[in-house]
Chain A
Amino acid sequence: MYKLLLCVRYLQTRYLAFICIVSVMLGVATLIVVNAVMSGFSTKLKDRLHGVLSDVIVDTDRSDGFEINDTLGKALTPDEVVARIMASPAGPKIAAVTPTIEVFAILQFNFRGQAMTKPVRLIGIDPEGRAAVGGFAEYLVRQHGHARPSFELTPEALKQHELNRQRRERADALQVPNVPDPKPLVPDPAALPEPDDAVMKRDMPVTKLNGAVIGYTIAHFRWRNEQGEVVEEAALKPGDDVTLFTAGGSQIDGGRIRPVFGNFLVTDYLKTEMSEYDQSFVYVPLDVLQRLRTMEGRCTAFQIKLKNYEADKKDVVDALRGIFDPRTGARVATWEEHQGSLLAAIDVERGILNLLLFMIVGVAGFSILAIFTMIVSEKYRDIGILKSLGASNHGVMSIFVCYGLLLGTVGCGLGTALGLTITDNINEIEMFLTRVTGKAVFPRAVYYFKDIPTNVDMVNVAVVNIGAVAVATLFSLLPAWRAARLHPVRALRFE
């Protein structure tokens, strides 16, 4: 009984104890806030990583895409493959499937009269099918969240396209040299044969304006001005022309791969807030890309959305492996397996950060050790008195261990409250700090997040609390042991 009474009384009367409480509190609060922010970033990153990837991806590195034949040896079209997937045991667990073509490409466009090139990942999709699989329409800037997004051009984009065309023509006209050519440039029409109408019509290119969705970072340049502010400028506006160069997918030409290119008009931006995607993804219509690469009726990947990802992922992957023979270069993987190394890196990073931050609690532990040693020295006489009244060594030790436990618990309680309050109001605090210091603590232009993301994991909070209480108790053991070993007569004589 006396142990409890004395620890509570010591807690109430020793101001030194408050230093211990404050140090534990700060340690715990820091751990909770950092973990919440870290976990917020990591959850958001995972969401983003998952974002443009469907739940399960089947893909191949074959330039001309999958080759799946029916029993008669006839190659199946993507739609027939989809039907076969839906008829397999995995079918009932699948919410949506869409074929895509993914290939590396070079994107070229004009910016202030200069030709710019960027390496990109060119993806041919059926926009509606892709939107059904998820992770597409929600990241479009203009057609944000649209149930049936398309590559159609808006009137404004068409107007921009027309303006560009006129500007180009004017520029070309200016480059016509003034010096007249002594020889006539055009042969005498009379000397030419009559044009064959059929030939003329056949070779006339049909002007079709193909839309392309461009990653936001590809289309925007960012730099810092003299004031140090981040300035963003759209290098590609809707309606601007881009040219995409890639490798043809056909192997009909004696197995040789040849370069192909096509012109597209920017119709929308993809803004996933994941720089890796925003700076490399370019979506174009699947049929256009099939034609461009001369691989009509084929595709290089299937994006699959499951009804219940966590429950069915293994079954679906196993069933799909039965359809797509890995010996033909087909790969079946969940999005997590696709991003395995990155996800593992996030976990490792978080683990190391936690370990490092726990050192803060370690520091709090040492302050408890120091302060407890002082308190024990201060309490020498009390220890002697207690022993003269029949308190055991074990009992005296318990007082101080209990005291450490109590300090740890109170510190943890306050620290948790403080940590959760800070986490809850982190954006307000950040804005306040930015206002006071005049310098952005969280420059939103540098990161892609509008707000500092947080995610409080209660298991983590519990682990931090248990750890901190354990550290506080552990570090009080040595002073407590010293107190217990104190000889009562010497303690009573202590002045």
Chain B
Amino acid sequence: MLTAENLCKAYRRHAVRVPVLNGLDLEVKTGEFLSIVGASGSGKSTLLHLLGTLDAPDSGRILLDGRRIDNLPSRDRDALRNRVFGYIFQFYHLLPELTTLDNVLMPAYIGHSVVGWWKSRSKWRARAVELLTKVGLGHRMHHRPGQLSGGEMQRAAVARALLTSPRVLLADEPTGNLDAATGDEIVRLLRDLNREDGVTIVMVTHNLDIVTATDRVVRMVGGVVTADTGAKKPAPFHAPLLAAV
């Protein structure tokens, strides 16, 4: 479904070229819950940004259902981020001025003009309320992010990412800022979404405890994939790889 071919990406830091991805290949299958593990600086987050068209590769291609998406005009890439991809970040990244409900509704606000929004507002509101209830925040809809706990904020971020029913959820260390119990809760939530709603999830993490919940684990070192557990397999299959990671 989502394919990365020979991706290269380097950053410039004070005229020094720092390569991050060095010819990475990866294929994400529909309905898969994939986790990407690796040390800091291995290029996990960069890969996630490239997959979600938030950044463009220096070379290589990204394909969605066989169609190249990394070189699309910015308008089309904006539309992809709005409807096809859903992002979840380590630091939740909610807008502090808005209520939880408005934060969750933000992708719909972005995707509609004032008139368009006015016409479909009740549908979107119902969807946002449903999602917030699903993630257990039905009672916190009118609170600002500052009034929520870390776990609650991350659940709100998950609800926001799901609003437009995206095909792929890109989670960048979603538990990185949470305690173990809350982190587990979030991963359980993602796993349920994957199993029940069939959402494809690509999760970057360096927390090895949580990858057991995922279908497939990919390990990255130095900007390339060095190990891949492959297709969906039961937990024991992961054991040797995880030991290696």
Residues of A within 8 A of B107 (CB): 389-390
The segment out of B25-33, B72-80, B183-191, B215-223 that lies at the interface is: B72-80
Question: What are the interface flags for B67-93 relative to A under an 8 Å C-beta threshold, 1 for contact and 0 otherwise?
Answer: 000000011001111110001010001
Min CB distance B89 to A, Å, is 7
Cβ B98 vs Cβ A9 within 8 A: yes
Q: Is the CB of A390 within 8 A of B83?
A: yes
User: Which A360-408 residues sit within 8 Å CB-CB of chain B?
Assistant: 381-382, 384-393, 395
Total number of A-B contacts with CB less than 8 angstroms? 73
Q: Contact at A385–B93, with CB atoms within 8 Å?
A: yes
Q: Decide yes or no whether A466 CB sits under 8 A from chain B.
A: no
B149 interface hit (Cβ, 8 Å): no
Q: How would you classify the secondary structure of chain A's contact residues: helix, strand, loop or mixed?
A: helix
Whether A9 pairs with B83 at a CB distance below 8 angstroms is: no
Q: Which residues of A contact B93 (CB under 8 A)?
A: 381, 384-385, 388, 492
Q: Taking the complex as formed, is A440 at the interface, i.e. its CB lies under 8 A from any CB of chain B?
A: no
Q: Report A-chain residues with C-beta under 8 Å of the C-beta of B75.
A: 392
Known: A1-B112, A2-B110, A488-B54. A391 touches B97 (CB 8 A): no
The answer to whether A1 and B74 touch (CB under 8 A), given A388-B87, A390-B81, A488-B55, is no
Identify the closest chain B residue to A390 (Cβ): B82
Q: Tell me how far the C-beta of B228 lies from the nearest C-beta in chain A, rounded to whole angstroms.
A: 25
Residue of A nearest to B108 (CB): A1
- With A2-B106, A5-B102, A381-B93 known as contacts, the answer to whether A390 contacts B111 (CB < 8 A) is yes
CB within 8 Å of B: which A1-47 residues: 1-2, 4-6, 9-10, 12-13
Q: Which of B113-121, B133-141, B197-205, B229-237 lies at the interface with chain A?
A: B113-121
Q: How far is the CB of B19 from chain A (nearest CB, A)?
A: 16
Shortest beta-carbon distance, A459 to chain B, in Å? 32
Which residues on the A side are within 8 Å of B112 (C-beta)?
A: 1
A487 to B56, CA, bound (A): 11
In this assembly, does A489 line the interface, its C-beta being within 8 Å of a C-beta of chain B? yes
Contact of B114 among A4, A382, A387, A489 (CB under 8 A): A4
Type the 1/0 row for B44-62, where 1 means its CB is closer than 8 Å to any CB of A.
Answer: 0010010010110000000
Contact of B113 among A1, A386, A392 (CB under 8 A): A1
Looking at the complex, which one of A5, A381, A382, A388 makes contact with B52 (CB distance below 8 Å)?
Answer: A388
15 A-B pairs in the complex with CB atoms less than 8 angstroms apart: A1-B112, A2-B109, A4-B114, A9-B97, A386-B95, A386-B110, A387-B54, A388-B54, A388-B87, A389-B82, A390-B79, A390-B83, A392-B75, A392-B78, A492-B54
Q: Which residues of B lie under 8 Å from residue A386 when comparing CB positions? A: 95, 106, 110
Q: Which residues of A contact B (CB under 8 A)?
A: 1-2, 4-6, 9-10, 12-13, 381-382, 384-393, 395, 487-489, 492
Nearest CB in chain B to that of A13: its residue: B97
B81, B94, B96, B97: the one within 8 Å of A388 (CB) = B81
B220 to chain A, nearest CB (A): 17
Residues of B175-189 contacting chain A, CB below 8 A: none
B residues near A13, Cβ cutoff 8 Å: 97
Number of interface residues of B (CB under 8 A): 33
Q: CA of A225 to CA of B160 in the docked complex: distance in angstroms? A: 80
- Cβ A489 vs Cβ B87 within 8 A: no
Closest 7 CB pairs of A and B: A390-B82, A2-B109, A1-B117, A390-B81, A9-B97, A1-B109, A385-B93
Residue picked from B78, B89, B116, most chain A C-beta under 10 Å = B78
Determine if A489 and B111 form an interchain contact, defined as CB atoms under 8 angstroms apart. no
Closest beta carbon of chain B to A328's beta carbon, Å: 74
CA distance A489 to B78 in the complex (A): 14
Q: Give Cα distance in the complex from A34 to B80, angstroms.
A: 54
Residues of A within 8 A of B81 (CB): 387-390
**Assuming A4-B114, A488-B55, what are 8 further A-B pairs, CB within 8 angstroms?**
A1-B112, A2-B110, A388-B93, A389-B87, A389-B160, A390-B111, A392-B75, A393-B74
| Bound CA span A5–B79, Å | 20
Q: How many Å lie between the Cα of A416 and that of B209 in the bound state?
A: 63
Alpha-carbon gap, A487 to B87, bound state (A): 16
Complex alpha-carbon distance, A7 and B212, angstroms: 44
Complex contacts, A488 vs chain B, CB 8 Å? 54-55
Q: Which residues of B contact A487 (CB under 8 A)?
A: 55
How many angstroms between the C-alpha atoms of A385 and B102 in the bound complex?
14
Query: Shortest beta-carbon distance, B168 to chain A, in Å?
Result: 13
**CB of A165, distance to nearest CB on chain B (Å):** 90
| Separation of A1 and B82 alpha carbons in the complex (Å) | 14
Partner of A392, one of B54, B74, B89, B109: B74
For the complex, give the distance between the alpha carbons of A13 and B96 in Å: 10
Give the CA-CA distance A389 to B160 in the complex, in Å: 9
Report the minimum CB–CB distance from B193 to chain A (whole Å): 18
A1–B106 alpha-carbon span in the complex (Å): 9
Q: Are A492's CB and B89's CB within 8 A?
A: yes
Cα–Cα distance between A389 and B109 once the two chains are bound (Å): 10
Complex-state Cα separation, A160 to B54, whole angstroms: 99
Residues of A within 8 A of B111 (CB): 390
Contacts of A1 in B (CB 8 A): 109-110, 112-114, 116-117
Which B residue's beta carbon lies closest to that of A385?
B93
A9 to B49, CA, bound (A): 28
Closest to B87 in A: A388
A370→B87 CA distance, assembly (Å)? 33
CB 8 Å contact bits of B154-175 with A (1 = contact, 0 = none): 0000001000000000000000
Is the pair B110, A395 in contact by a Cβ cutoff of 8 Å? Answer: yes
Compute how far the CA of A384 lies from the CA of B93 in the bound complex, rounded to whole angstroms: 9
Considering the chains assembled together, what is the distance between the CA atoms of A307 and B11 in angstroms?
A: 83
**Which residues from chain B contact A381 at a C-beta distance below 8 Å?**
93
Q: Which of A6, A384, A395, A492 contacts B97, CB < 8 Å?
A: A6
Among B74, B102, B106, max chain A CB count under 10 A is at: B106
Docked Cα-Cα span, A489 to B102, in Å, equals: 23
CB-CB < 8 A to A388: which residues of B? 52, 54, 81, 87, 89, 93
Set of chain B residues within 8 Å of A389, measured between Cβ atoms: 81-82, 87, 106-107, 110, 160
CA distance A365 to B13 in the complex (A): 35
Among A1, A5, A381, A488, find the residue whose CB has the most chain B CB atoms closer than 10 A.
Answer: A1
The complex places the Cα of A492 from the Cα of B106 at a distance, in Å, of: 17
